[in-house]
Amino acid sequence: MIKGIILSGGTATRLFPLTATTSKQLLPIYDRQMIFYPLNTLVKAGIKDILIIVAPEHSGQFLNLLGSIFKNHGINIFFEVQKTPRGLADAFLVGENFIDNNSVAMVLGDNIFEDDLAEDIKDFKSGSMVFAKKVSDPERFGVVKFDENGKATEIKEKPKEFLSDWAITGLYVYDKKVVEIAKNLAPSDRGEIEITDINKKYLEAGELSVKKIEGEWLDAGTFDSLLEAGNVVKKKEIYKKFDPIINKAIEEFNAELKELAKKKLA
């Protein structure tokens, strides 16, 4: 069984003042909130239990939107509040009880994928699996280097000198060992426990699989990338590629809100 985690904490200071009043992951990407895109990645892969990690100041907003939206659709949404962000790998410590002895797919709440990655996630058995995309600015990301046979040989976080132009995206799949690995990580120079260090541990053990993706990978963390994400989602019709469960849940939620609005006006 694979459980899902969406990391939606943090303050998103690069998007102030937009995020002064709401979470970045609740900002709109074309016709729906950003959070529905990573949700779609997990739901399409058949994942039924999903933990959303949120910042305390926005927890009520997430609960209002997602607390009961899937109650009739077999998707179970759970929430954990992360008071202080301590790095991406902290998600596995916050979600330790939720993960239990299961594998876990963790996706960042601002990541949007054009490719359908459902089958890769469904086929996961053990070790770890990450997804890489060729980029023009690899110094901004954790990158992976491949040998001539396409096998991953090295991973480095935001390299100052060119190592590779294959960036590791914000979707990670791990077996249950990830919790213990995260517990034993030493904080980096910036005081965080790094997801790159988890990937290195699996790589050293020969248990890291890297899948290359060709379609759009959008990281909606700046004004420009937020605007671009909406435009790309519309142009490439990514908004039409949602799992029917999500579309139905949104449709029912909208109808319920409209009915409540009518009653308030009556």
Which domains are present in the chain? 2-130+168-265 (3.90.550.10)
Nearest Cα residue to 214 out of 265, 177, 145, 166: 166
pTM for the structure as a whole? 0.96
Which phi and psi angles does 150 have, rounded to 5°?
Answer: 80, 15
Q: Provide the residue-wise pLDDT of the chain in tens; the chain has 266 residues.
A: 999 999 998 878 889 999 999 999 999 999 999 999 999 999 999 999 999 999 999 999 999 999 999 989 999 999 999 988 889 999 999 999 999 999 999 999 999 999 999 999 999 999 999 999 999 999 989 999 999 888 999 999 999 899 999 999 999 999 999 999 999 999 998 889 999 999 999 999 999 999 999 999 998 888 999 999 999 999 999 999 999 999 999 999 999 999 988 888 76
